[in-house]
Amino acid sequence: PILNDVRGEVRFDNLWTLTTPPGQRVTIGELNPGIAVRSGRVSFQLLSEERVSIESAEFDFASGILAMRPTTITLGADETRFELTLRDVEAADLLQTLNVPDLTATGKLEGNLPLLLTHRSAFVQGGVIRAQDEGGVLSYTGRAGDSATGVSRIAFDALRSFQYDALSLTIDGDLNGDVVSSIEFSGHNSGR
């Protein structure tokens, strides 16, 4: 992971155990464990036995916020579990950030991504991203359906400009390997 421009002042209450009182704060210019997040605001406490209590952590991500739910982690542990949340994320910016080709979207998204970190990889376990508010528009701009016929052609044509009112994406798997996702949405074709 890349970590740039970390700033703050940490006050220790015990130098022998390297512990701090609650409410220590740092800002992080950029954190990139594979996908870049910026302008981080982290509040924490260093505990004994190489544990860190994350009180709050928020980063700017895809015109919205990627946050970490409060948790205590043990540094150097074989496994670390925590949950990330998304809110007010712009669908278009998320697709651009993730480099998704042939798909554009509008609307705001939110969700939860439970993560398991091991020494070899990161796993999403039961992640869900869903539409906020009133939905948006999905548009498939690729050429995969150009030679389709029958029902397949109707589906590709509908996805050229599909107004969704509900959207849910589930994500499970190894972020460095196989990720299984499914998408459910409802709405109508806007006729464009």
Instruction: Tell me the pLDDT tens digit for each residue of 10-63.
Output: 999 999 999 999 999 999 999 887 678 999 999 999 999 999 999 999 999 999
Number of C-beta neighbours around residue 135 at 10 A: 20
CA distances from 29 to 3, 23, 36, 63 (A): 8, 19, 10, 16
**Is the pLDDT reported for residue 3 higher than 80?**
yes
Q: Provide the token pair at 146.
A: 């150009």
Q: Is the pLDDT of residue 192 over 60?
A: no
Listed as own residue / partner, the contacts of 144-149 with beta carbons closer than 8 Å and 24 or more positions apart are 144/102
Whether residue 80 has pLDDT greater than 80 = yes
DSSP 142: S
pTM given for the model: 0.83
pLDDT category, 179, cuts 50, 70, 90? Answer: confident
The answer to whether residues 100 and 128 touch, using CB atoms and an 8 Å cutoff, is: no
Distances (CA, A) of 95 to 55, 59, 108, 179: 29, 18, 12, 16
List the single range of 33-42, 57-66, 73-82, 137-146 with lowest mean pLDDT.
Answer: 137-146
Note the pLDDT of residue 129: 93
Strand-pair category, 108-118 with 51-61: unpaired
